[in-house]
A and B are shown apart, each in its own frame.
Chain A
Amino acid sequence: MEKASHLSVIVDLSPTQWHLSAQADNQYPLSIQTFLSQLLAFLNTHIASQHENTLAVFGALPGKSVMLYSSTDVVADDAIAPDANSYPPFKAVDSTVVQNMMYEFDAFQKSDHEPPCDLVGALTKALCYINRITHPSTTANSAAEDPSILPDPRILILSVSPDLSPSYIPIMNSIFSAQKLKVTIDICKIYGPDTVFLQQAAHLTNGSYIYLERRDALLQYLIMSFLSPPAIRKVLAVPKQDKVDFRAACFCHKNIVDIGFVCSVCLSIFCQPVPVCSTCRTKFPIKTLQRLNASRPSLNPVNSRNSLPLANLNNASPRPTPTRNLNGVS
C-alpha cells in the first residue's frame, strides 16, 4: 500500500463574502451551510481513503486565523458520544469543525468595518503545522508520529475573498517555504474574482487552481480535483489553471501592477517612478526618473485590473476565454 497523505484545508470564512455568495441573484447561490455540509463530506472522504491520512483544518477569519481541527491533537474522549451508525473518526472531525466554527462566528463582533480575512496567518500556521508533523523534533514527545512514514503534505485553500495586496510579500514568502517543504498548494476559488497571488501559489507549488464555475457541484469538484494525492495525479489528470497571472503588488500603494518600476539594489516594486527607494533609501539618478516618466505608459492606469487588455493581440486567433465573468460577480 502507499504512503499516507496529509491534507491541510484552509477555509476562508469571510462573513461578507459568504453573505454575498448566498444571494439569490447569483447564478448558483451557495450558502455557508450547504458549503459546510459538502466540505465535511469531503473531509470524511479524505480520512476514509486511508487509515493513516491526517487532516488539519484552518479557518481564515476577519483579522484572525484559527486552527479548527487537527487529527494529531485529539480532543478529550468523552466529548463525542459514540454512535453505532457512524465511523468514530468521521464523527470527531464533523463535530469538532462545526463546534469550533460556530464558536468563532459567535465570538465575531459585528461592526461596520470588517477587517480583511487573515489568509496569511492561516497559511503560515498550516505550514508550521506541516513542518511540525513532517519533521518531528526530538525535543517534543511526539509519540504519534512515526519517522519512517512521513505523510505527503498538501494544502487546499478554499477562497472566497479577493486578493489582498498588502499581503503580497508574506504570501510569496509562504509560497517559497511551501516549495521548500515540498508542499503542494491547491486552490479552489469558490466565489469572487480570480486572485493573482493564489494563482501563482498553485503554479509555483505544482498544485491546481480551479475556479468553481458550477457552485452547486462543489463536492464533485472537490473530490475529482483535490482528493487525489500527487501520485494519483500522474494517472488521473487533474485540471490545472488555464493561465497564470504573474503580476505583483507594488510596495508604495499596494496596487497590483503589470508594469512596475524596480529598484536595482533591493528589487522593491513601485507603481510609479520614485526619486528615492522607500525600502533601502537608495537615491535614483534624476535622468532615469525623467526618462521613465516620459516613457511611462499613460494609457495604462496602473491600479485597475479591469482595464487590462486580456486578448492576446499577437495571436491570430484570440484565446477562447471561459464564459465566466473575470471581474467576478460582485
Chain B
Amino acid sequence: MPPRQRDSIFIEVDSDSDVSILGDGDDDYTRSKGKGKGKATDKRKKDKGKAKAKEQAYTWEASYTRSWDTVQEDEAGSLQGAVEDWMARGRRRRLLAPAAAIRRTIIRHLILLLDLSASMMDRDMRPTRFDLSLQYAREFITEWFDQNPLGQIGVVGMRAGIGERIGEMSGNPQDVLKAIADRHRLEPVGEPSLQNAIEMARSSMSHLPTHSSREILVIFGSLTTCDPGNIHDTLDICVKNKIRISVVALAAEMKICRELCDKTGGQFGVAMNEGHFKDILFESVPPPAQRAVARTTGAGTANPAADLMMMGFPTRLPDTSPPSLCVCHSEMKSEGFLCPRCMAKVCDVPTDCDICGLMIVSSPHLARSYHHLFPVKPYQAVISLEDTPDPETSCHACARIFPTTATTTATTEGMSPLGRYQCVDCHHDFCTDCDVFVHDVIHCCPGCGK
C-alpha cells in the first residue's frame, strides 16, 4: 500500500514551485482541479489493492477526473464560495510558511535513472510507460533547470541487466535533453539491475565537492531487479556518501525501493495514474531543505557541508566584437565571456576558467534562486475600512479600482471581503490578483521594494 500521507503532499505540491504564468488566467480552475484530483485519488487509493479493477475498468477512464465532485455549490447554486475557499487556503498556506530564511542545497547534482527494461513497454499508462516516462523526463529536466540553474543532471539507463550511461553530467539543459531525445536509442529490453545502475551513478558522482548535493532519481517500472551482488552493500555505501535516492515506481511498491529511499532520506512514491506520476516526479524539482542529519553532525562547529566559494562574474562579449581564440576549445569566435580575473575568454558559463581556475557564473544564474531566500511577507487581509480614515481607492500595484462595498458576505479566514490586502511594511493596499502575483511570481513588494 502506498504511504498514507499522500494528502498532505498534494497540498504542498506547488508550495515552492512558481506558478506557471501561462495558466494563470484560469488559475483557480486548475488549482482546484489539482486539489480535487488529490481527494479523488485518495478515495480511490483506499481500495486500490483489492478492487482497483472494480473501480476503474479501463485506464482511459482515469483521465476523466471527477473534478466536479470536489466543487460544492452554495445554496444559490454559485461556485463563488468554492473558488474563494481555495484562495483562502492558498493564503493561509503562505501565512503558515516560516518567515525565516530557509536553508536549501542549491548546487545540486542529480542522476536520473531510467528503467529501460521490458516492463516499460506495458501499456497501463498511455501510450506506454516508456514513452510517458520520456515525455515527463523532458518536462522534468526543463523545470528542474529552471529552478536549479546551478545544478547538473546526468542520465543513466537500466537495461538488459546492466547500467548504461546515456548522458554525462551536464549543467546545460539542452545537452541533457539531447541525450534522451532519441527514442530509438533507448528502446527498452531485458531485465533491470538496480545495483549496477546505482553503482554507476554513484561512481560518476564520487568526485563531487562536499558542498553540493548528490541525488539519484529512479523511474522504475519493473517489479524485479537482477543484481550481481548484495544491493544492501550498495545502499550502505550510498548512505555513507550522502547520496539521496528517490524512487518513482510505476508498478507497485518494492521493499528494496522503499528502503533505498528511507535510508538515504529520499522520497518514494507509486504512480497511480498519469497525472499522479507527473506530480510525484515533479516533487523532486524544488531544492530539498537540507537534512537535519547534515546539520547536527557539525553541531556547534563549522558545517562541513557548507563552504564559501570564490566566484567571478564575467562580461559577455557581443557577436559583433572582433573574433579571438577561446581558451576552452581554441576556436576563433566573436561572442564569449571574459573571466574577470585573468580576462581569458570562455565560451559558456557556468564553468571553471581554464587559465586561473576561477569559477565563472553569470550573476542571473545565482539570482534566480534568491526569492527562496527573501520571500515577501504575507499581506494582511483588510477586513473593514472603518478605522482607516483615508483608504486608497485603487490597487497600489495595478491601479485597479477597489470595490467600495463588501462583495461577499461569507468571510473565510484570511480573505478580505473588500478584496484588499495590505503590506505590513508599507501599508499599501493590493488587490487579490496582485497579492497572488507578487507572492508567487515577482517576490518583491511594489510598495516597499522588499
Contact = CB atoms under 8 A, between A and B. Distances in A.
Direct A–B touching, Cβ under 8 Å: yes
A85 interface: no
Interface string B160-186: 000000000000000000000000000
A264 B397 contact: no
A46 B301 CA distance: 61
B31 interface: no
Interface in B96-150: 101-107, 150
Nearest to B23: A135
Contacts, number: 261
Contact of A314 (B105, B290, B310, B327): B327
Contacts of A289: 308
Interface stretch (B66-74, B261-269, B270-278, B360-368): B360-368
Nearest to A309: B343
A258 B399 CA distance: 39
Interface string B437-450: 11001111111011
A284 B343 CA distance: 29
Interface in B403-450: 419, 431-434, 437-438, 441-447, 449-450
Interface in B334-356: 337-338, 340-345, 349
A309 B275 CA distance: 54
A300 B358 CA distance: 15
Q: How large is the interface on A (under 10, 10 to 19, 20 to 34, 35 or more residues)?
A: 35 or more
Nearest to B419: A139
A174 interface: yes
A279 B303 contact: no
B212 A125 contact: no
Contacts of B344: 314
A126 B401 CA distance: 16
Contacts of A260: 310-313
29 contacts: A73-B394, A120-B444, A124-B438, A128-B397, A131-B433, A132-B433, A169-B374, A174-B444, A180-B20, A243-B316, A243-B317, A245-B316, A259-B341, A264-B212, A265-B303, A266-B104, A267-B366, A280-B103, A282-B306, A284-B303, A284-B307, A285-B307, A292-B308, A309-B343, A312-B343, A313-B343, A314-B345, A316-B324, A319-B317
Given A125-B446, A177-B443, 10 more contacts: A131-B433, A132-B398, A135-B25, A137-B432, A177-B441, A248-B366, A261-B309, A267-B373, A285-B302, A314-B324
B211 A264 contact: yes
Contacts of B432: 137, 139
Interface residues of B, number: 89
Contacts of A128: 395, 397-398, 434, 437-438, 442, 446
B39 interface: no
A259 B310 contact: yes
A127 interface: yes
B228 interface: no
B314 A246 contact: yes
A214 interface: no
B370 interface: yes
A200 B317 CA distance: 13
A55 interface: no
A279 B313 contact: no
Nearest to A176: B368
A170 interface: yes
Interface string A265-294: 111111001100101101111101100100
Nearest to A249: B363
A262 B311 CA distance: 7
B304 interface: yes
B234 interface: no
Nearest to B24: A135
A300 B349 CA distance: 22
A244 interface: yes
B366 A262 contact: yes
A286 B302 contact: yes
A170 B444 contact: yes
Nearest to B368: A176
Given A247-B363, A282-B103, A259 B318 contact: no
B327 A70 contact: no
Interface in A149-185: 167-170, 172-177, 180-182
Contacts of B349: 246
A181 B367 CA distance: 18
B230 interface: no
Q: Which of B342, B363, B368, B369 has the most CB of A within 10 A?
A: B363
B290 A242 contact: no
B18 interface: yes
Nearest to A164: B449
B315 A242 contact: no
B364 A200 contact: yes
A159 to B, nearest CB: 16
B374 to A, nearest CB: 6
Contacts of A266: 101, 103-104, 106, 369, 372-373
A241 B373 contact: no
Contact of A125 (B25, B302, B310, B398): B398
A259 B307 contact: no
A198 B306 CA distance: 32
B364 A314 contact: no
Contacts of B301: 283
Contacts of B325: 314
A145 B322 CA distance: 48
B313 A265 contact: no
B211 to A, nearest CB: 4
Contacts of B24: 131, 135
Nearest to A310: B315
A189 interface: no
B314 A174 contact: no
